[in-house]
Amino acid sequence: MQIFNPQTLSATRKLAELIGQYPEAKNFAAGLPDPNHLLADQERMLQKHPEAVKYVLENTSPAHFNYGKTAGPDFYRDFFSKTIATDWNLRATAENTLIGTAGNTGWIDILLRIMGENHTQPSAVFLSNPTYTGYLATLDKFPQITAFGVNCDKNGMIVEDLANQVEKAKRAGFVPRAILDTTRHHNPTGRNLTLERWQSLYEILKRDGIYFINDNAYSYLSFDNNDFHPLNHDPENLGFEMVTFSKILIPGLRCAVLHTQAEYLTPDNQRRFFTEKVIEYLAINNLNPSIPAFMCALSLMIDDTGTPQPTLKPLAVPKIESYKKRYQMISQALSDKLGSALKNGALQYDPVQGGFFIYLRYDNNKIFPNEVARQLLEKYNVAVVPTEDFWVKDERNKKLNPQAIRLSFSGIPIETIEPGVDALAKGLKVILGL
Ligand SMILES: Cc1ncc(COP(=O)(O)O)c(C=O)c1O
């Protein structure tokens, strides 16, 4: 039984349904933020709502409502651009920042749509291997765009492999257009791109005019204070940044920003074309940012006097602490219960500095992750996510053997961690013959 196949859009739902059939399962398969955070934030929103409403109304005109500007009302663009400028040291202004309420998923859809529909030659997009399944599911909708997978190590895409894939794409008649990747706390591997790696990759981007679309889904969820940000090292303005607040700042509310370091109205015709298209597609798809979503967002982001906070990072701190604690408990339990397999390399994972995920590799090519996950669920009552489908399918490279499962620490209650890792360890010992 294939338990996960994101080539159909309902894959995540199917996985959730399957896990739902095992209500007692210890759940390391969550992909979403902790539901308790969502409830706590809603309560806080309700408390603050009167100030937020007052503040918004004092600063709002009829043009700000849904029939208004599709790029997002100036007031909100100004507010959100100032905060991301402070938080990430970006040259963000209202002019080069758009806001939306369909999450980073909405931006990815629009950016790929533009690439697919506005070029006569077929386009190539480069994804890390493995990659976030949401990119693959969205790309499935655009037959004019072909995904090329780039192998990675713990620091990000391997430069030589990106160069190879770009050449391969060109030889096959594709125009290399963009890299789409998560540079911090990658899903599913948890890795971070390093500055050194970025600078080497950048030579290829520059040479071929390839855009870099950075899916900033988890940067606010960092356990360390490493603030390296690729767009601060982007002299050619090739980067686009999507910052979603849906994971940690306002869990579940898919308020998200699309930003580029370039001024929108620069003489760069290609970029201006691109930006104008984004706004046009927002309008066509009726994706005008909705005021209620922003009211909720604002209610979290103003202080008690109704003044917007200059930085959003402090809002994340209590949640970071709670995720970090769970991560530390899981890694401690893994070394207590699977210490010898971790020492002799039969199991491996790279420690993470944030995000939701641990990518647990195993050294046994006789059994695929789908089968490991199925047996863990059916026989040991533990839910994990298998990783076959996080890989870009490449017809010329059929021997993909990811040999890893993804463990999430975002949804598991503290008291379930110990018994959960215990059951996981028992299961893995038998299934993998550790
Ligand atoms: C890497 C990555 N990008 C984007 C998303 C979706 O973000 P949003 O809720 O803003 O659409 C997810 C959600 O799982 C993710 O893991």
**Three-state secondary structure of the chain:** CCCCCCCCCCHHHHHHHHHHCCCCCEECCCCCCCHHHHHHHHHHHHHHHHHHHHHHHHCCCHHHCCCCCCCCCHHHHHHHHHHHHHHHCCCCCHHHEEEECCHHHHHHHHHHHHHHHCCCCCEEEEEEECCCHHHHHHHCCCCCEEEEEEEEECCEECHHHHHHHHHHHHHCCCEEEEEEECCCCCCCCCCCCCHHHHHHHHHHHHHHCCEEEEEECCCCCECCCCCCCHHHHCCCCCEEEEEECCCCCCCCCCCEEEEECCCCCCCCHHHHHHHHHHHHHHHHCCCCCCHHHHHHHHHHHECCCCCECCCCHHHHHHHHHHHHHHHHHHHHHHHHHHHHHHHCCCEECCCCCECCEEEEEECCCCCCHHHHHHHHHHHHCEECEECHHHCCCCCCCCCCCCCEEEEECCCCCHHHHHHHHHHHHHHHHHHCCC
Separation of CA 135 and ligand 1 centre (Å): 9
87 CB near ligand 1 (under 6 Å): no
Q: What is the dihedral of CA 342, 347, 352, 356, to 10 degrees?
A: -130
Query: Is the domain of 17 the same as that of 120?
Result: no
Higher pLDDT: 116 or 300? It is: 116
Separation of CA 232 and ligand 1 centre (Å): 22
Q: Is residue 77 assigned to a domain?
A: yes
How much is the average pLDDT of 391-400? 64
pLDDT score for 281: 74
Q: Is residue 283 assigned to a domain?
A: yes
Strand partners, 362: 347
CA 356 to ligand 1: nearest atom = 16
Separation of CA 432 and ligand 1 centre (Å): 31
246 CB near ligand 1 (under 6 Å): yes
- What percent of the chain clears pLDDT 70, i.e. is strictly above it? 81
Question: What residues make up the domain containing 163?
Answer: 51-301
**Predicted TM-score of the model (pTM):** 0.91
Pairwise CA distance, residues 313 & 397, whole Å: 42
Among 99, 215, 240, say which to mutate for ligand 1: greatest number of ligand atoms within 8 Å of CB.
215
Q: How many structural domains are present in the chain?
A: 2
Residue 171 has pLDDT above 90, yes or no: yes
CA 102 to ligand 1: nearest atom = 11
CA 105 to ligand 1: nearest atom = 11
pLDDT score for 8: 47
Higher pLDDT: 348 or 284? It is: 348
Query: Is the domain of 281 the same as that of 371?
Result: no
Query: Is the domain of 277 the same as that of 320?
Result: no
Query: Is the domain of 160 the same as that of 260?
Result: yes
Domain boundary, last residue among 269, 301, 333: 301
219 CB near ligand 1 (under 6 Å): no
pLDDT tens per residue across span 122-131: 999 999 999 9
pLDDT score for 149: 94
CB atoms near residue 413 (< 10 Å): 12
Q: Is residue 133 assigned to a domain?
A: yes
- What percent of the chain clears pLDDT 90, i.e. is strictly above it? 47
Domain boundary, last residue among 249, 270, 301: 301
CATH number of the CATH domain containing 21: 3.90.1150.10
Query: Is the domain of 59 the same as that of 142?
Result: yes
* pLDDT confidence band for 428 (50 / 70 / 90): very high
Residue 139 has pLDDT above 50, yes or no: yes
Residue 433 has pLDDT above 70, yes or no: yes
Separation of CA 197 and ligand 1 centre (Å): 23
Q: Is residue 6 assigned to a domain?
A: no
Among 184, 244, 352, say which to mutate for ligand 1: greatest number of ligand atoms within 8 Å of CB.
244
pLDDT tens per residue across span 316-368: 888 899 999 999 999 999 999 999 999 999 999 999 999 999 999 999 889 99
Separation of CA 4 and ligand 1 centre (Å): 18
Q: Is residue 257 assigned to a domain?
A: yes
Query: Is the domain of 331 the same as that of 361?
Result: yes
97 CB near ligand 1 (under 6 Å): no
Query: Is the domain of 65 the same as that of 163?
Result: yes
pLDDT score for 251: 80
187 CB near ligand 1 (under 6 Å): yes
Q: Which of 155-164, 309-318, 381-390 has the lowest mean pLDDT?
A: 309-318
CATH number of the CATH domain containing 172: 3.40.640.10
Query: Is the domain of 280 the same as that of 415?
Result: no
CA 242 to ligand 1: nearest atom = 10
How high is the mean pLDDT of the chain? 84
Query: Per-residue b/e over 292-306, b at no fewer than 16 CB within 10 Å?
Result: ebbbbbbbbbbeeeb
104 CB near ligand 1 (under 6 Å): yes
254 CB near ligand 1 (under 6 Å): yes
Separation of CA 243 and ligand 1 centre (Å): 10
Separation of CA 105 and ligand 1 centre (Å): 6
Query: Is the domain of 224 the same as that of 77?
Result: yes
Query: Is the domain of 19 the same as that of 90?
Result: no
Of all protein residues, the one whose alpha carbon is nearest to atom 10 of ligand 1 is 103
pLDDT score for 6: 44
